[in-house]
Amino acid sequence: MKTFSSKNRKIVLDDDKILIEKILKGKESSFEEIMRKYNKRIFNFTMRMVRDEQVAIELTQDFFIKIFTKLHKYNFEYKFSTWAYRICYNLVIDYIRKNQTYVDSLDDDRAYKKYAYANKHSIKEDGADVLEREEVKSYLWKTVNLLPIKYKELILLRYIQELKYDEISEVTSLPIGTVKNRIFKAKDLLRKEIEKDGMLEK
């Protein structure tokens, strides 16, 4: 890590920013490092949003093309990952708005069929023990996919991309209070759906 000053402000260069410096100086191999670092995370977010592998691959490719062409506009005062996720977010949301072809409501009659467990035992809400079960993870993500898009996108940014509330606010251009309220609402919708399915003991 190194620092440099810009208008009397000290800017810390983390690994991403050091790579970007090299890219801007013509070392294109450094962009391959950026791609290796972010490819899986960007694809996973995109895939969970659009639920179409081919589309997710194309959007991920579009993302890296856009990153490369816009890199000269990146402001080193800000975290690169936040800037990058904002570009990804805008690409995905733009695609979804133009191609609204999937169910985005928990109340839709076409929703996924209720998930059934082979052992037919009810599952207690006991935190980490529940989340460790692959069957439960599968069920939970199917349920997340049914959230209205304004909730789903925030759940994915928070729990898949592991962004902080202020970073999500910057990525989505939503006030941080709105981000927190929507995530709370999303978790409440998920809880109610899981209870409705009889997946939690009361």
Domains and CATH numbers, the chain: 1-102 (1.10.1740.10), 103-202 (1.10.10.10)
- Residue 44's SS3 state is helix
Which of 145, 48, 41, 149 shows the shortest CA–CA distance to 93? 149
Q: What angle do CA 39, 164, 19 make, to 5 degrees?
A: 40
Closest Cα partner for 156 from 16, 47, 83?
Answer: 47
> How many Å apart are CA 5 and CA 3, to the nearest integer?
7
Task: Look at 118 and 20; give whichever has higher pLDDT.
Answer: 20
| Residue-level pLDDT at 196 | 77
Instruction: Identify the band that residue 130 occupies on the pLDDT scale cut at 50, 70 and 90.
Output: very low
Which amino acid would we find at residue 98?
K
Q: Check pLDDT > 70 for residue 163.
A: yes
Tell me the CA distances in angstroms from 117 to 28, 91, 122, 193, 198, one per residue in order: 50, 37, 9, 16, 11
Name the nearest CA neighbour of 55 among 63, 64, 46, 45.
Answer: 46
pTM: 0.69
User: Is 60 exceeded by the pLDDT of residue 173?
Assistant: yes
Q: What is the pLDDT of residue 121?
A: 41
For 11, which DSSP code? E
* Nearest Cα residue to 51 out of 155, 141, 159: 141
Place 66 in a pLDDT band, splitting at 50, 70 and 90: very high
Amino acid at 30: S
Nearest residue to 156 via CA among 50, 81, 45, 59: 45
